[in-house]
Each structure stands twice: as C-alpha cells, then as structure tokens.
C-alpha cells in the first residue's frame, strides 16, 4: 500500500501532571463548613483541583502545538500521526523546537511551584487543610512531566493492510475540521483580508491533501476543488461584500459538512458551480445606463441568495 510505504509514524509522548485528585465520597463531600460541597473551581466531575489550573496553560499550549504541527502535514493513525516521508525532517525540526519551549515552560512552572501552591491555598482557605496534604512535593511533580517523540516505519502483515478509503476518510475528516475553523474565522473577521493572505491560509490544506493522497480518488477530487478555489481568489483586498468572501466561506462550510463533502466528491458541487451561482444576473435593457450605486446592492443580494441554494 502506497500510504504505508510513503509515510512514517510519529508517536508523541507528552505527559503532564494534572494538578487534580479523585474526589473521595468520605472526605470531600463534607469538606466545607456545615457539610457544604466545595465550589466548582475545586470539585468538578468527580475530580478535585489541588493546584491552580491556569498554572498549566503554558505547558498545555506546547502540547497542543505539537499535535497541531503533526496534523498540519500528517493524519492520525494507529495512536500517532502518519507523516509523509518527504516531510519527516520538517516535523522533527518543529517538534524539537516545541520540545525546547516545553522544557522552558516546565522550568518556569517548577520555579513558581511553591508560590502557586500557596496562592491556591489562600484562595481556598476553607479547604486548605485538605488540599495542602494532597499536593505532592515539587520533585515528585517534576517526574510527572515528559515530552518525547519516536519515529517508526510501518510494515503491516501482508493481507492485513489498512483500508485505503478508511485512511482517506480520516484525512478528509481532519480537513473538514480545519475548514470549519477557517470559515468561522472569516465570518468573525471585521476587517478586509488580502487575497494573498487568504491564498496562504488555503495552501497548507492543499499540501496536506496532495502529500497524503497517494492516488486515492476521493482525496484527489477534493484536492482539485481546493486548487480551483485557490486559483479563483484574487490578490486584491477582500471584505465581506466581496464575492470571493462568500464563495470561500461557502466552500469551506461545505467541506466541513460530511454530506456536502460527498456531493463535492460525486461532482454535484464544485467551485466552478459556486462561482457561477455567485455571478450577478446580466442587466436588462431598462437597467442600462442606471446609476451603478443603485444596482450593486441588488447584485450582492442575488449573489448571496443563489449561493445559499447550496444549503
């Protein structure tokens, strides 16, 4: 199978101390005065927080950064990430950089450990006598953190190779999740975006689809539409009234919807059809010579109404 022979499995091993303990029915239900439950910031879903959650944010960011780096060019596979062989050197450099940032964040965390502990106890005086005894010492906590990664070449048993369409569906699912985030950002954006920048945001998706396609027809069809979208975006600045804005948002939204994505793969929906539906109707003879400022809003409404037919 081309996918197996053309990728390397990257397995991340990132461990972080949770700063939590399992709540005890015997002790934690009546921790407060008059048998009151601790507040939600201390006790939530059966876990009690014995250390300030915000203290973990810098470490959590680096953990997410490592996962995003792998997903940007690879796909989830066998508990790790299948990375195209041509991108292995790039991902190793990225992960080494993130690993160093994680190390620095951990050093800051340990340096501030006692202060954060005392601040948390001060913020929760009523329950401090229980929390204090359950926080491990700094040396024990340090051993609960780890950031490492390993690389493997895969060799499945003949006749038991992974199904190509299962791999393709996973890739397309991840593309859809990214499309959803991108379309939401475009809708929330209050200022115009340059066509060059919009193209740059689409390019990583094109690269991921291209390097992970390995001849799979489903991926190739979606790849062709992304290339068509990329080519259709002009270099000028694009605000929410620009046709390319609605076309891009609609296409990304369709890719984020599994049913509409299937219609793209089947050829029922395409960027070309989307662009055609967004074109304003040709003006009638009566409209010739009329003031352009009065015809633009009508054309924009027609474009939006036509584009909405895809939903």
Q: What are 118-145's pLDDT values in tens digits?
A: 999 999 888 888 888 899 999 999 999 9
Please give the Cα distance from 189 to 184 (Å, whole number).
Answer: 9
Is a pLDDT exceeding 60 seen at residue 224? yes
Between helices 195-211 and 164-188, what is the axis angle to 10°? 170
Selected residue with higher pLDDT from 236 and 290: 236
Rama region for 216: left / alpha / beta (φ>0; ψ in -120 to 50; rest): beta
C-alpha dihedral sign at 270, 202, 4, 68: negative
Selected residue with higher pLDDT from 113 and 298: 113
Is a pLDDT exceeding 70 seen at residue 32? no
Give the three-class secondary structure for 307.
helix
Asked if residue 133 lies in contact with residue 39, where contact means CB atoms within 8 angstroms, the answer is no
Q: Are strands 193-194 and 237-238 parallel, antiparallel or unpaired?
A: antiparallel
Tokens of 80: 């790790």
Please give the Cα distance from 21 to 130 (Å, whole number).
Answer: 11
Strands, E assignment, the chain: 7-15, 20-22, 43-44, 47-49, 75-77, 80-84, 146-152, 193-194, 237-238
Query: How do residues 256-306 score in pLDDT, each as one tens digit?
Result: 999 999 999 999 999 998 888 766 665 555 554 544 444 444 444 344 333
Please give the Cα distance from 203 to 227 (Å, whole number).
Answer: 9
Question: Residue 24: which pLDDT band, with cuts at 50, 70 and 90?
Answer: low
Is a pLDDT exceeding 70 seen at residue 62? yes
Is a pLDDT exceeding 70 seen at residue 110? yes
Tokens of 26: 């015997």
Rg (CA), the chain: 26
Asked if residue 158 lies in contact with residue 5, where contact means CB atoms within 8 angstroms, the answer is no
Q: What mean pLDDT comes out for the span 192-215?
A: 96
Question: pTM of this prediction?
Answer: 0.80
Q: What mean pLDDT comes out for the span 58-67?
A: 98
pLDDT of residue 36: 60
Burial of 21 (C-beta count, 10 Å sphere; 0-12/13-18/19+):
middle
Least confident range of 21-30, 44-53, 221-230, 289-298? 289-298
Selected residue with higher pLDDT from 30 and 8: 8
Burial of 5 (C-beta count, 10 Å sphere; 0-12/13-18/19+):
exposed
Is a pLDDT exceeding 90 seen at residue 198? yes
3-state SS of 73-119 is HCEEECCEEEEEHHHHHHHHHHHHHHHHHHHHHHHHHHHCHHHHHHH
State what percent of residues in the chain have pLDDT above 70: 81
- Average confidence score pLDDT of the chain: 87
pLDDT of residue 21: 84
Q: What mean pLDDT comes out for the span 169-188?
A: 96
The number of beta carbons lying within 10 Å of the beta carbon of residue 80 is 20
Least confident range of 22-26, 48-52, 166-170? 22-26
């Amino acid at each position: 199978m081309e996918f197996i022979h053309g990728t390397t499995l990257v397995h991340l091993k990132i461990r972080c101390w949770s700063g939590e303990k399992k709540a005890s029915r015997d002790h934690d239900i009546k921790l407060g005065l008059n048998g009151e439950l601790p507040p939600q910031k201390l006790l939530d879903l059966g876990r009690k927080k014995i250390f300030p959650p915000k203290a973990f944010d810098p470490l959590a960011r680096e953990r997410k950064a490592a996962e995003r780096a792998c997903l940007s060019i690879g796909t989830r596979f066998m508990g790790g990430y299948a990375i195209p062989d041509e991108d292995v050197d790039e991902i190793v450099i990225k992960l080494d950089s993130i690993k160093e940032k994680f190390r620095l964040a951990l050093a800051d965390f340990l340096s501030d450990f006692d202060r954060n502990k005392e601040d948390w106890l001060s913020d929760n005086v009523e329950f401090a006598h229980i929390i204090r005894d359950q926080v491990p010492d700094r040396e024990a906590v340090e051993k609960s953190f780890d950031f490492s990664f390993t690389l493997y070449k895969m060799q499945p048993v003949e006749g038991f190779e992974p199904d190509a369409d299962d791999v393709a569906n996973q890739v397309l699912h991840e593309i859809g999740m990214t499309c959803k985030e991108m379309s939401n950002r475009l809708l929330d954006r209050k200022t115009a975006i340059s066509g060059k920048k919009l193209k740059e945001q689409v390019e990583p998706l094109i690269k991921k689809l291209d390097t992970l396609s390995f001849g799979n027809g489903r991926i190739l069809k979606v790849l062709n539409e992304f290339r068509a979208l990329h080519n259709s975006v002009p270099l000028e600045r694009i605000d929410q009234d620009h046709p390319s804005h609605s076309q891009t948002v609609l296409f990304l939204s369709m890719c984020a919807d599994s049913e509409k994505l299937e219609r793209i793969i089947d050829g029922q929906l395409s960027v070309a059809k989307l662009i055609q539906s967004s074109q304003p109707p040709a003006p009638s003879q009566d409209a010739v010579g009329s003031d352009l400022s009065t015809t633009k809003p009508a054309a924009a409404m027609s474009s939006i109404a036509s584009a909405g037919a895809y939903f």
